[in-house]
Structure 1
């Protein structure tokens, strides 16, 4: 299975009525079909939002390095795959699908050790059918259709 770094991006509306930018991993059907990545991990970083629901520039930059460290650590041997990133409505959430939650936790601690304590929460759930990923793709497809309709009108 080859893991590419191809992503799609869409904009949707959050619960607070503000913009949420959704970035989803593309070309991961083989990983979904393998049945090996049956557990989902959601890492959420809340922030003080600007008027449009986004983080300010300094906070957005502060989130970049931990994201890169996590992605590199988790994907180096395909223990876990970063499949989605939601930013908006006062939080950034990274979605990973993993083979093993305890190993994910150990690697998370190692990857984030160089950083000061981060304001993150972690949620895990069994999701062998990749329901969250499918829902994200559905949201993005709806948004893409809306954009195409606007362009045609």
Structure 2
């Protein structure tokens, strides 16, 4: 596999609200490959929040984690796309995905199970061969607050 499934997490606050950012430890390998020139951003706007944390409620977290697992399972096996970053802030979970081909990514999204109803997501895609979207967020992370985690990202 081109990149591993090791993640780094950084937590802090942005505009007086908690933020959690998780990104692939070896993200540079995919960027340096040069084939992943399309950036797809998926935003999940939480329907219910935990007032004590500002993050999605525990019940919604279960759906978000399941969605994240499905994203990786549906998009990454053929290495055509990679989930590179997940941001949780102010009731929104956002995934930053880099892909070679939008049609293949769309087919992966369309194949995700929807037994519990459609996912409350918005999807946008842009050409981003220099990975500016990812780097703009990554460059603002304080290395001291970032910690390695060995499994796939959680909801927050």
TM-score w.r.t. length of structure 2 = 0.84
Question: What is residue 39 of structure 2 aligned with on the other side?
Answer: 40
Deviation sequence 1:80-136 (CA, Å, 0-9, x none) = 001001112111111100001122111111124455111111011111101122122
Q: Highest CA radius of gyration, 1 or 2?
A: 1
- In structure 1, distance between residues paired with 2:50 and 2:116: 24
Unpaired stretches in structure 1, ≥5 consecutive residues: 148-153
Question: What is residue 150 of structure 1 aligned with on the other side?
Answer: none
- In structure 1, distance between residues paired with 2:20 and 2:50: 14
Rate the CA distance shift 1:146–1:106 in 2: closer, same or farther, 3 A.
Answer: closer
Task: Select the structure with the greater relative contact order (CA < 8 A; seq sep ≥ 6).
Answer: 2
Residues 25-104 of structure 1 correspond to what in structure 2 (within 5 A)?
25-47=24-46, 48-51=48-51, 52-104=53-105
Report SS of the residue matched to 1:70. Answer: helix
- In structure 1, distance between residues paired with 2:123 and 2:113: 13
- In structure 1, distance between residues paired with 2:64 and 2:24: 18
- In structure 1, distance between residues paired with 2:12 and 2:132: 18
Unpaired stretches in structure 2, ≥5 consecutive residues: 147-156
TM-score w.r.t. length of structure 1 = 0.85
Paired residues of 1:74 and 1:104 also in contact (CA < 8 A)? yes
Higher alpha-carbon deviation: 105-114 or 35-44: 105-114
- In structure 2, distance between residues paired with 1:100 and 1:72: 17
Q: Give the aligned CA root-mean-square deviation in angstroms.
A: 1.8
Q: How many residues align?
A: 144
Paired residues of 1:40 and 1:95 also in contact (CA < 8 A)? yes
